[in-house]
Amino acid sequence: MNMKIVPGAVTFQNIDEMTKKSALNPPGTLAYITEEEALLVRVNKGWQYIALGTLVPIATPAPPTTVAPSMRFDLQSKNLLNSPPPLLNTPTLRVAALNEPSTGDLQGIRGADFACYRQGRRAGLLGTFKAFLSSRVQNLDTIVRPADRDLPVVNTRGDVLFNSWKGIFNGQGGFFSQAPRIYSFSGKNVMTDSTWPMKMVWHGSLPNGERSMDTYCDAWHSGDHLKGGFASNLDGHKLLEQKRQSCDSKLIILCVEALSQDRKRKKREIGDGGSHGESESREFKTADEYAAHLENLLL
């Protein structure tokens, strides 16, 4: 039996440093990138990102003072992307990107929602994901269930992106307080990975979340160069900028949970017959099946 022992994880400051030293690390080596807080494994042809689960914060000892002043977590001033979720027991809405960029032809909003569902499921994220896109039948701000619109929006590693879903649509263009950290379902950072040469996100929406009827690539059915859709340049730290892009541009597609996992659990506890628990184990075969599921779930 030919068995080779590979040492544990090695740490690199950034991807460039890791790439330069690839020859020194055999397949099976784990690498931690401190700049991205990402974990990768060495494979035969390069490195592969490993999708990480929810952040488990390190407990900090209580200060040695007898009376500690009461402190309020100011979400507006501490919307820091490398911080853990502000309240560990607070439900959140997760955001992830599809694993590849796409033109404006997504087979409509149902096709885009179904792509979010399938890739989320393959990544082990069983949330109710919908595409971050406006359409003929929905404004962008309404894709999350009304009861969940005050919840924090986080990436797949638990980093807070926005203090609330509603806050994205306050007219300021969905401003990130720091460089956005958004990961694909495969665990790649869309801002640093070459899979996405254009760091722009399709959305087709006005600043208040209302759909823009003439700038959403024929309701996401068109990849025509002569047609356009609204997108936002993440390098400008905005999620909801109104930049018109030709529909043949290959841009980032984001997916967001329309219903928090905590809300879903509470509905089951109240007693809805367990249908939502069963739907998580059920696999939807078509975009129409998933659309019907979403319509029922978000009532």
Residues 267 and 278 sit within 8 Å (Cβ to Cβ): no
Position 29 in a domain? yes
Q: Is residue 293 part of a domain?
A: no
Q: Give dist(CA 257, CA 246) in Å, integer.
A: 27
Say whether both 22 and 141 belong to one domain.
no
| Amino acid 185: pLDDT | 96
Please state, in angstroms and rounded to a whole number, the distance separating the CA atoms of residues 39 and 168.
29
Residues in the chain with pLDDT < 50?
1-3, 66-88, 267-278
Whether residues 25 and 98 fall in one domain? no
Q: How far is residue 81's CA from residue 44's CA, in Å, rounded to a whole number? A: 33
Same-domain status, 144 and 203: yes
Q: Which residues, at least 6 apart from 246, have a Cβ–Cβ distance to it below 8 Å?
A: 224, 225, 226, 227, 228
Q: Considering the domain boundaries, does residue 28 fall inside one?
A: yes
Question: Which structural domain range is residue 42 located in?
Answer: 10-50
The answer to whether residues 220 and 169 belong to one domain is: yes
Look at the chain and count its residues.
299
Assigned domain for 74 exists: no
pLDDT of residue 95: 97
Give the tens place of pLDDT for each residue, 23-55: 888 888 898 888 767 787 888 888 877 766 555
pLDDT on residue 139 = 94
Q: How many domains does the chain have?
A: 2
pLDDT in tens, 205-254: 999 999 988 899 999 999 999 999 999 999 999 999 999 999 999 999 99
